[in-house]
Structure 1
């Protein structure tokens, strides 16, 4: 591997997964001279990593020419030619409400730090892992009818059939969904689909990035999906208020318990946690959109 490829690989490894495309008026390319002392060179690499983590492209002058490095999410969009219709024409992120989002993000972190994380730590300490797995299986099985409808409305009949098969098997052989024989015995994979996924299938844009209270990173389409699913969720058919809200709270607590340690690690290591979690979410959205468009094209 030559010097140019080595340097490019190192820089991309430093910032992989924590960048997004900025609006054109925020792009601020910079150049670095290679004639630096070792300490200065190391500082220069750190500066470039910081530029990329903020979603800004950088240029580095080397003995073999100029290297232009784009944020990681650009690589997702540029996986096809510029004329490929599956590549979005608009920038890969849209965050016009950053001030509001940062406020909600800060509120969420305090709620996690002082309420959810201590509660989930106690939940994990008291409830054995196999029981927590059964709790997760129960709620995953409970939403299978919703997955089925969303897959049907998206035209994915095969996936809807998987949802139906999983629900019937796990609700009976799996003892009301506490176990998952559909996966372990019958090799029927999970085919989860939200209302937001269905809307994306029909070309409905995601809209601006949006941080939801307690629920975290989303966008306008995702917020509409969460609100609508909260109204029509199958849990409302098996329990009345306030029991249905209590069940949804347990569902959310169990779900967060599997992510709390990862959240704390990423938050503590990120220089700007808001940008890191935003960029992670938006890169995932860009990847999923590209995958959906490729499948539609094929």
Structure 2
């Protein structure tokens, strides 16, 4: 029974934890003929086209305008020996499991459309933005010990010290993390580090692109990181199951609720949403790896 509850809880943890990163948010849109599409595209470029061209765009949502920055960068697979000459170049789209990934992407599409997005709309209507901000702060503070562990394992001791300071300050002066005096009073910025980031530090390849059920875009390394962090997350030390699963799910849902509408608007404009969100994810990962590598070089 314990094993079954753990498995169910872990899947629901995964369901929400990274959905904010999963760039799909799906409503169906009316069919457009090829002639109409070509005419529209010839008149004005879509937001997706502008993003792919490296431009920033503003997306109109019920919460006002949200600026979206492009993640398009000229960076290859960053695991090619950590050589700067190999880091710069064309993006390598490693997607050998595309058929499987498209199936899961379609499943996630239906989940977002009929469950998560309507729930997120109701959540934003019921809970004021200021309250949602404090909820997010509290969950980020609970995660600080995990950031500290990952930074320490990667030899990033300055960042680990910042994690420790932030956790102590925000847990006390910040009323259990509801507020962030570490940033606003002491100028100690967030230093988030995941297991995936630590594996990259040790030259572990990201592996093929992978779409996870509920979670959305990831890769082999990211999937391992997500599942492992779900097991060792500090929330599991503060509460027993199934309460810990509910808290993790709520954490992810709160994060998802603030991003769903933006990605929903982008989804509607993509000719092939699977390829668009895959490419944006992989480009973003290569960008982050590149700057992480550059940071390591500067410290040396």
**TM-score category of the 2 structures, normalised to the smaller one:** 0.7 to 0.9
Q: 1:127 to 1:230 in 2, by over 3 A?
A: same
Task: Tell which structure's C-alpha radius of gyration is larger.
Answer: 1
In structure 2, the residue matched to 1:241 is 241
Tell me the SS of whatever aligns to 2:74: helix
Tell me the SS of whatever aligns to 1:210: strand
In structure 1, the residue matched to 2:74 is 75
Offset of residue 77 of structure 1: 4.6
Tell me the SS of whatever aligns to 2:191: coil
Q: How large is the Cα RMSD of the aligned pairs?
A: 2.6
Tell me the SS of whatever aligns to 1:75: coil
CA distance in 2, matches of 1:246, 1:164: 26
- Contact 1:86–1:290 (CA under 8 A) maintained in structure 2: no
Offset of residue 289 of structure 1: 1.6
Which runs of 5 or more residues in structure 2 are unaligned?
1-37, 53-70, 78-82
CA distance in 1, matches of 2:210, 2:76: 21
Which runs of 5 or more residues in structure 1 are unaligned?
1-38, 54-71
In structure 2, the residue matched to 1:130 is 130
CA distance in 1, matches of 2:196, 2:155: 15
1:73-112 equivalences under 5 Å are 75-77=74-76, 84-87=84-87, 92-112=92-112
Tell me the SS of whatever aligns to 2:206: coil
Between Structure 1 and Structure 2, how many residues are aligned?
A: 233
In structure 1, the residue matched to 2:16 is none
In structure 2, the residue matched to 1:3 is none
Tell me the SS of whatever aligns to 1:186: coil
State which drifts further: 91-100 or 115-124: 91-100
In structure 2, the residue matched to 1:169 is 169
CA distance in 1, matches of 2:132, 2:224: 29
Offset of residue 291 of structure 1: 1.2
In structure 2, the residue matched to 1:178 is 178
Deviations 1:39-70 (A, max 9, x none): 99x86x99xx99xx7xxxxxxxxxxxxxxxxx
TM-score (norm 2): 0.72
Offset of residue 84 of structure 1: 4.0
Q: Does 1:221 align with 2:233?
A: no
Offset of residue 139 of structure 1: 0.5
1:111-122 equivalences under 5 Å are 111-122=111-122
- Contact 2:91–2:283 (CA under 8 A) maintained in structure 1: no
Offset of residue 179 of structure 1: 1.0
Tell me the SS of whatever aligns to 1:116: helix
CA distance in 1, matches of 2:234, 2:287: 29
CA distance in 2, matches of 1:73, 1:143: 29
CA distance in 1, matches of 2:171, 2:281: 33
Offset of residue 92 of structure 1: 1.8
CA distance in 2, matches of 1:288, 1:207: 16
Higher relative contact order at CA 8 Å, sep ≥6: structure 1 or structure 2?
2
Q: 1:136 to 1:74 in 2, by over 3 A?
A: closer
Offset of residue 160 of structure 1: 0.5
- Contact 1:146–1:234 (CA under 8 A) maintained in structure 2: yes
CA distance in 2, matches of 1:223, 1:77: 20
Offset of residue 263 of structure 1: 1.3
